[in-house]
Amino acid sequence: MVESLRSVLQLRPIQLNPAERRLRKAANIDDLRTIARRRLPLPLVLAPTGFTRVASPGGELDAARAAARMKIPFTLSTMATRAIEEVAAVCDGPKWFQIYVWRDRGLVKDLLSRAASAGCEAIVITVDTALLGRRQRDVRRDSRAVNLAEYINAQFDQALSWRDLDWFRANWDGPIVLKGIQTVGDAVLAADAAVDAIALSNHGGRQLDGAPAILELVRPVADAVGDRVEIICDGGIRRGSDILKAVALGARACMTGRAFLYGLGAAGQRGAEHALALLSAELRRTMALTGQRCMSDLTPDLIAWRDTLTEPC
């Protein structure tokens, strides 16, 4: 009797290997998914930025190397100053490729095929740039960017519509992110169209005047689309705590443009790494100070954002 009780009550040996410990708790594939989500690195993606060589001579190569060191995705812009293949040669981390949709679909098709050959994992279709916003600083400076804007406005497909997703699916065999969603209604349409992710984005305030602050869109969009599409919050990330806020409100990850560009401008690749390390350290500190252990455990009640936005200072 005592023997059989002992065999029933026998404690399992303590598992010292953390990977084995995690796997022991996974009863099915859904459990593995949950564990994987908790373990994913810094929930951040480097946003596509054109003409990045303006910030440092290495440009996109510096940024891509910095992202790879932090094990976060780097998104190469269609307007990059380095070729897809050059970036692939120096970046062994995850790479995404951003697409502006040219009227000339032959050109877009060629870019998609080069992105696939270079190992890009996802494409990011930017949908907020049917024509280029009026960058008044460029106008005042009478800079070459104004001519570029005219060129772009002539080349980009202003008739882009939801139906074009079929064309992309026929020419790209991987995840699709729609970047530039700015309303709950469009987020729902994107989920209905079964894209993999949406980047809520106002293009860093460079396109539509009076566009919504992206952080304010995250919660209503998350409520409307549920788990049907991943949400990326793009814009205004200057602190690790901004990432925590966006994720708590329902984003899967954030994208950042200026934060890494400032780092690049300050000290090239090393500067971009420094910017990402700052965001990472701030995020960890904010997690600790708010008593949070896993990004996947963050919930909206952590954020008193509505009250603080509406209360007078």
Ligand X SMILES: Cc1cc2nc3c(=O)[nH]c(=O)nc-3n(C[C@H](O)[C@H](O)[C@H](O)COP(=O)(O)O)c2cc1C
Catalytic residues: 203
Residue 269 sits in the site that holds ligand X (CB under 6 A) = no
Site for ligand X in 124-143 (CB under 6 A): 126
Q: Which stretch binds ligand X (CB under 6 A): 165-173, 230-238, 276-284, 299-307?
A: 230-238
Residue 237, classed as helix, strand or coil, is coil
Site for ligand X in 47-76 (CB under 6 A): 47-50
Judge contact between 260 and 305, C-beta under 8 A.
Answer: no
**How far is CA 65 from each of CA 91, 119, 267, rounded to the nearest angstrom?**
5, 15, 13
Site for ligand X in 181-210 (CB under 6 A): 201, 203-204, 206
DSSP 146-213: HHHHHHHHHHB-TT--TTHHHHHHHH--S-EEEEEE-SHHHHHHHHHTT-SEEEEE-GGGTSSTTPPP
For the CB of residue 135, give the shortest distance to ligand X in the complex, in Å.
Answer: 10
User: Hey, what are 223's tokens?
Assistant: 């409520």
Task: Enumerate residues 6+ apart whose C-beta is below 8 A from 65.
Answer: 58, 90, 91, 269
For the CB of residue 78, give the shortest distance to ligand X in the complex, in Å.
Answer: 6
**φ, ψ (nearest 5 deg) of residue 83:** -75, 155
Closest by CA position to 95, among listed 153, 33, 174: 174
Binding residue for ligand X, selected from 73, 256, 272, 298, defined by CB under 6 A: 256
Which C-beta is closer to ligand X: that of 191 or that of 199?
199
For the CB of residue 242, give the shortest distance to ligand X in the complex, in Å.
Answer: 10
Site string for ligand X, 79-118 (x = CB under 6 A): x------------------x--------------------
For the CB of residue 248, give the shortest distance to ligand X in the complex, in Å.
Answer: 19
Task: Enumerate residues 6+ apart whose C-beta is below 8 A from 41.
Answer: 70, 71, 72
Q: How many residues bind ligand X (CB under 6 A)?
A: 21
First-to-last C-alpha distance (Å) of the chain: 72
For the CB of residue 25, give the shortest distance to ligand X in the complex, in Å.
Answer: 36
Which C-beta is closer to ligand X: that of 74 or that of 225?
74
| Residues contributing to the site for ligand X (CB under 6 A) | 47-50, 77, 79, 98, 126, 179, 201, 203-204, 206, 234-237, 256-259
